[in-house]
Structure 1
Amino acid sequence: MHCGIGQFTRLLQETIEKHEPGSSTTLTLTRSEGSLAEIWRAAGSAQSVVCNFPIVAWKRVIFAPLAALAVGWLLRRKIILIQHEWRGLHWLRRITYIPALLLADTIVMFSPLVQRELADDPLLGWTARKAVLAPLPPNIEAPAGIEDSKLRHRLIAAKADGRLLIGHFGSIYPSKQPNALLEIGAILKQRGLKPLLVYIGSFIRGVDKVEEEFHARARELGIADDVIVSGFVASDHEVFGLFSEIDVFCYPLDEGITARRSSILTCVQSGRPLIVAGPALPEEFDHHPRFKELISRGAVVLVARGSDNEAYADRIATVLKRPPVPLPFDFDGWWKDVAEAVRAQL
């Protein structure tokens, strides 16, 4: 399964290498790659060991990354843990990351809200004192061209039929509240706007019954035929081909928007309006001026956190009437920012 954290790791290492050639290398850890001897040699040749969590296939490969951190600790290397999420993870996954939090000298996080979630943990809250914030960039850069697909033609036909295409991009899992968008779609359908909800991504397989509950809720709301789930889309050109047909993106996040939402940054590059719940913390973007600018320029439209679904439906109807917001996106600059923040911890 494609892993956004894995993609982040690759792009981070490539960016660090671009600005400081020869300063870093990667060690791939899977069920078949990365023996304990290889981990020992790699950690022994390094000054710092950096690991990214969470991992999609955590039940199958969690031992090897933890072993790498433990070996680095035994060899007295600096341990840097990059922790993207906390409370949004299932409690079983959080348990498996406890050794990493304990071994880490520095914990890099991307959101003040996630940092507070860790600080509020009754068992591990003290480890938040080791946390530093870094600005998260998007994993995907808008390509120069787009790629056609059967799904894109289906969306084109839907638009020709007067459908309102509402997009949701990225892996589908509980903390992104995919079912809340279903309820907004049902409201828009009652208003006669003929919505088609387009989820560009796939469900995360885990202990939760996310996919089953999602489709059950769509049937309950009477919009099962107004929902499309693309599944994993491998090509960036195909992703942005689908984006080109979307009218508006919407993320009614219960926790509010946070600075760790890479999928939102990918959507913004399409030039389509994006509606999302406002942040829970006023300082959420103080460490991330580029993200803050997207909000101030209107590329990201905030709805007050805690608003009902009618408010989102109203905002969708409103933004469709406004002209598009042209906004240049310095993809390399975003990645340089995070690479410098991580390099400062090495």
Structure 2
Amino acid sequence: MTKRYLVFISEAARTCGVEEFSRLLAGRLGVRAQTHVLDYRIWRLFGALKNVDAAVLNFPVVAWKKKLLSPTLCALVARFMRRDVVVVLHEWLALDWKRRIVLAPALVLASRILFSAPEIAAEFAETRLSSFVTRRRGMVPIPPNLLPPSELRQTPHSEALREQRRNGRLILGQFGSIYPKKQSTAVLQVAAELIAQGHDVGIVFAGSFIKGMDNVEEQFFDLARKCGVADRLLVTGYIADESTLFAIFEQIDVFCYLFPEGLTSRRGSVLAAALFGKPVVVNAPASAKALDHHDLFRRLIETHAIRMVPTNADIPTVASAVLQAAEDKPNKLDLVAGLETVWRQIVLAVDAA
């Protein structure tokens, strides 16, 4: 029997990776899925659930303070109507404890829980809540939330970067939200190290600062000044248009990430950059099996699009890897085939619920 799904989304205009996954999943399921905005209109919810077999919730949710009870309400109504509830959990211990409390009842109501990475599954398994939820659990590979468009749209940002490269400057970049737990500032230190070695380096962050975190932006630019790279730094802010975003990607020589936990399969920003054909230098996963379930990540490592340094690599080691990556172009990857493989795995995992 072909399963039909109600995929819950938010009304957010500025989407995060979790929200993008929700919308992309609904699109990939095609006629088997419809979307429903997470809200409190219960009679509309009853009507939407009437013609489906299962509800799909992705956590954490956007604007969670406005949605305090809606995930639980949706899961409760779905189970009352004898519909399955599939929860895809993208984060857990990294979430504020108040957010975990809000999501806990919906997890208890879940028929099946899918995790975005082995690290998240392990974190969850060690919590007390794990004893009270379903043992029907699985893993899904998270696809890139952005793909290169057919045409690029040049802007003053991309033109300025192009001019810098024309004058011999190496552009070091990072894509995605800027926040402390991502160690975004490590890129500033890598750039400073390269400059100290005599290289001309510029830095671009294609993204914006996470709102609600006190002094993050101020501390970021303060460190840039201390590192002596403030006059070489560009922070674009949030860019919604993909043709504009990838025009900036085109002018980046090497992407660089140094995550606290090393690379994990949830890092869609790394996938997006590597799939565009740009080399990405990133520190290796803490666990050797962290990427075993994600064929596309493993293929990108094989083709040298993703170049890993040790998990606890110091700044000089990362700087050296950046220079090497700037000289060696990655091998080409069959993007269509790689994405089809990932989505086939995802749909199979959801259907297994």
Query: TM-score higher than 0.5 here?
Result: yes
Unaligned runs of 5+ in 2: 1-13
Cα distance, 1:172–1:343 mapped onto 2, change above 3 Å: farther
Please report how far the alpha carbon of residue 198 of structure 1 lies from its aligned counterpart in structure 2 after TM superposition.
Answer: 0.9
Cα distance, 1:56–1:216 mapped onto 2, change above 3 Å: farther
Identity across matched positions, percent:
35
The equivalent of 1:5 in structure 2 is 18
Cα distance, 1:128–1:264 mapped onto 2, change above 3 Å: farther
Tell me the amino acid that sits aligned with residue 36 of structure 2.
L
Cα distance, 1:194–1:90 mapped onto 2, change above 3 Å: farther
Q: Separation in 1 of the partners of 2:122 and 2:329?
A: 37
Cα distance, 1:213–1:62 mapped onto 2, change above 3 Å: farther
Q: Separation in 2 of the partners of 1:133 and 1:209?
A: 36
Cα distance, 1:92–1:181 mapped onto 2, change above 3 Å: farther
Q: Separation in 1 of the partners of 2:116 and 2:282?
A: 18
Cα distance, 1:173–1:237 mapped onto 2, change above 3 Å: same
Alignment of 1:65-104 (within 5 A): 65-104=71-110
Does the Cα contact within 8 Å between 1:276 and 1:300 map onto a contact in 2? yes
Q: Separation in 1 of the partners of 2:44 and 2:303?
A: 48
The equivalent of 1:298 in structure 2 is 304
The equivalent of 1:319 in structure 2 is 325
The equivalent of 1:179 in structure 2 is 185
Of the candidates 166, 173, 177, which is equivalent to residue 167 of structure 1? 173
Please report how far the alpha carbon of residue 128 of structure 1 lies from its aligned counterpart in structure 2 after TM superposition.
Answer: 8.2
The equivalent of 2:346 in structure 1 is 338
Of the candidates 245, 257, 264, which is equivalent to residue 258 of structure 1? 264
Please report how far the alpha carbon of residue 248 of structure 1 lies from its aligned counterpart in structure 2 after TM superposition.
Answer: 0.3
Q: Separation in 2 of the partners of 1:236 and 1:221?
A: 31
Unaligned runs of 5+ in 1: none
Q: Separation in 2 of the partners of 1:342 and 1:157?
A: 47
Q: Secondary structure in 1 aligned to 2:36?
A: coil
Report the TM-score, using the length of structure 2 for normalisation.
0.89
Q: Secondary structure in 2 aligned to 1:249?
A: strand
Q: C-alpha deviations, 1:221-265, integer Å up to 9, x for none?
A: 222222211111111111111111100001111101111111111
Does the Cα contact within 8 Å between 1:142 and 1:270 map onto a contact in 2? yes
Please report how far the alpha carbon of residue 207 of structure 1 lies from its aligned counterpart in structure 2 after TM superposition.
Answer: 4.2
**Pairing 1:154–2:163 present:** no
The equivalent of 2:139 in structure 1 is 133
Does the Cα contact within 8 Å between 1:215 and 1:224 map onto a contact in 2? yes
Q: Separation in 2 of the partners of 1:324 and 1:294?
A: 9
Higher relative contact order (CA 8 A, sep 6+): 1
The equivalent of 2:29 in structure 1 is 16
Aligned length: 337
Does the Cα contact within 8 Å between 2:85 and 2:111 map onto a contact in 1? yes
Alignment of 1:165-314 (within 5 A): 165-314=171-320
RMSD, aligned CA: 1.9
